[in-house]
Amino acid sequence: MNTSDTFPEIRESVRKLCAEYPGAYWRKLDRAREYPTAFVQALTRAGFLSVLIPEEFGGSGLGLSAACAVLEEIHRSGANGGACHAQMYTMGTILRHGSAEQKKKYLPKIASGELRLQAFGVTEHTSGTDTTRIRTFAKKIGDRYIVNGQKIWISRAEHSDLMVLLVRTTPREEAARPTDGMSVLLVDMKASVGKGLTIKPIRTMINHATTELFFDDLEVPVENLIGEEGKGFRYIIDGMNAERILIAAECIGDGRFFIDRASAYAKEREVFGRPIGENQAIQFSIARAYVNVTAAAEMVAKAAALFEAGKPCGTEANMAKLLASEASWFAADMCLQTHGGFGFAEEFDIERKFRETRLYQVAPISTNLILSHVATHVLGMPKSF
Ligand SMILES: Cc1cc2nc3c(=O)[nH]c(=O)nc-3n(C[C@H](O)[C@H](O)[C@H](O)COP(=O)(O)OP(=O)(O)OC[C@H]3O[C@@H](n4cnc5c(N)ncnc54)[C@H](O)[C@@H]3O)c2cc1C
């Protein structure tokens, strides 16, 4: 079975929903850098953002490959799941590591959309990819943690009720290992803004609602600690595999969008008295994009299947993200080139998707860091850092 044929009913319903939000909708938001509230609400109502939440907590209890199908179709339609994809998987930290009380309190409301948990605060200005060097610190005083520090690139913070926040609770130099001494706190955003939390939006080349966060004696109740104090790094790593696989699925959707658009245009655009698609130079780059995306989709499906089976999948999740993000970028460049000057016109949506798909070679993990993982963890080469 071709990977784009899985979950046909889900894919069909996602396509129908996305048809209500055509290019004009996304272009308007993109210009104003506005959040796609109506689209996110429609996805929530249709239950697409709660597919990974178990049925006992109000979700549909499906596996990661179903969630991949949802995001792939969103992206193939020309839409952008970046506004809300984290609502699907950030809850995994509570699901896997939260207490029974926390699950009961939060998961049903996340499933219904009453609560948005789609902010995930890890990256900091000075630590970059070297997460063990984060400096945001939570000091326990009585029944509160007092949080000080700052984060950068925290997406959707203004559109979330809750945030999963990684902090240090033991300084790096006092921890047994650099990965010890970090903890995960669940932050109530509405209760925190203006009371120790400041959110500053960052305007970027894409409409991604990303922000900087500043913590100045923010109080977080101790009952909002997820799992055990000091073990937060492991909890965050657990969630990253799901995130990488789902984002890889978005890249596959982007890749298919570019291939659909380029092949349609190549058949219809006539120059020198014939369709440009009659020229092999045009055909071959579209065909090459198709080959790349199809191969990457197989890797995404493999990583998702391992994740669903509860097997180790860190390497496969990383490789899927690398291959899919490069395949979508090649397809983006090909599609723009195939459209000639029209590729630059906003109304074709190609320049917007071109900008959007570029992100995924940098976030949530950059290509070099994936190659470093493969070189050292898989091929046993010496570590460079
Ligand atoms: C739009 C956007 C949204 C984001 N959303 C979130 C979010 O919601 N939450 C969150 O926590 N973070 C988020 N991020 C942050 C994202 O995960 C990081 O930008 C990404 O992991 C890269 O980290 P960095 O920007 O600090 O790059 P750096 O770590 O500063 O690296 C810069 C460059 O150097 C390369 N590099 C670094 N070290 C090495 C090495 N040892 N060998 C070879 N190359 C190296 C990297 O590959 C990269 O290309 C977002 C980023 C963006 C741009």
**What per-residue confidence (pLDDT) applies to 4?**
78
Cα 260 to the center of its chain, rounded Å: 23
* CA 22 – ligand 1 centroid, Å: 31
- Determine contact, residues 60/51, Cβ cutoff 8 Å: yes
> Residue with the nearest Cα to atom 21 of ligand 1?
365
End-to-end CA distance of the chain: 41
Residue bearing tokens 């300084």: 171
* CA 25 – ligand 1 centroid, Å: 30
Question: What is the enclosing helix (H) or strand (E) of 285?
Answer: helix 280-308
**What per-residue confidence (pLDDT) applies to 215?**
98
* CA 375 – ligand 1 centroid, Å: 19
Q: Which atom of ligand 1 is nearest to the CA of 122?
A: 11
* CA 368 – ligand 1 centroid, Å: 10
Distance CA 368, CA 206 (A): 22
User: Ligand 1 pocket check: which of 117, 162, 185, 362 to mutate, most ligand atoms within 8 Å of Cβ?
Assistant: 362
List own/partner pairs for 106-113 with CB under 8 A and 24 or more apart: 106/162, 106/186, 107/53, 107/54, 107/57, 107/58, 107/59, 108/57, 108/58, 110/50, 110/53, 111/50, 111/53, 111/57, 111/58, 111/59, 112/50, 112/58, 113/41, 113/44, 113/45, 113/49, 113/50, 113/87
Q: 124-149 burial, b if ≥16 CB within 10 A, otherwise e?
A: beebeeebeebebbbeeeeeebbbbb
Amino acid making up residue 373:
H
> Residue with the nearest Cα to atom 42 of ligand 1?
368
**What per-residue confidence (pLDDT) applies to 365?**
97
Pairing between strand 182-188 and 225-226? antiparallel
> Residue with the nearest Cα to atom 41 of ligand 1?
385
> Residue with the nearest Cα to atom 11 of ligand 1?
122
Q: Which atom of ligand 1 is nearest to the CA of 206?
A: 1
Quote the tokens at residue 187: 């932050």
- Encode the chain (385 residues) as per-residue pLDDT tens digits: 567 789 999 999 999 999 999 999 999 999 999 999 999 999 999 999 999 999 999 999 999 999 999 999 999 999 999 999 999 999 999 999 999 999 999 999 999 999 999 999 999 999 999 999 999 999 999 999 999 999 999 999 999 999 999 999 999 999 999 999 999 999 999 999 999 999 999 999 999 999 999 999 999 999 999 999 999 999 999 899 999 999 999 999 999 999 999 999 999 999 999 999 999 999 999 999 999 999 999 999 999 999 999 999 999 999 999 999 999 999 999 999 999 999 999 999 999 999 999 999 999 999 999 999 999 999 999 999 9
- Determine contact, residues 199/157, Cβ cutoff 8 Å: yes
The set of protein residues with a Cβ atom below 6 angstroms from ligand 1 is: 120-123, 128-129, 153-155, 204, 208, 210, 359, 362-366, 368-369, 372, 384-385
Distance CA 102, CA 305 (A): 28
Question: What is the enclosing helix (H) or strand (E) of 150?
Answer: strand 144-155
**What per-residue confidence (pLDDT) applies to 308?**
96
Q: Which atom of ligand 1 is nearest to the CA of 208?
A: 1
**What per-residue confidence (pLDDT) applies to 238?**
84
* CA 362 – ligand 1 centroid, Å: 6
DSSP 329-384: HHHHHHHHHHTGGGGGSGGGSHHHHHHHHHGGGTSSS-HHHHHHHIIIIIS-PPP-
**What per-residue confidence (pLDDT) applies to 2?**
65
Q: Give the sign of the dihedral formed by CA 114, CA 85, CA 297, CA 365.
A: negative
> Residue with the nearest Cα to atom 17 of ligand 1?
364
User: Ligand 1 pocket check: which of 153, 235, 384 to mutate, most ligand atoms within 8 Å of Cβ?
Assistant: 153
User: Ligand 1 pocket check: which of 135, 366, 372, 381 to mutate, most ligand atoms within 8 Å of Cβ?
Assistant: 366
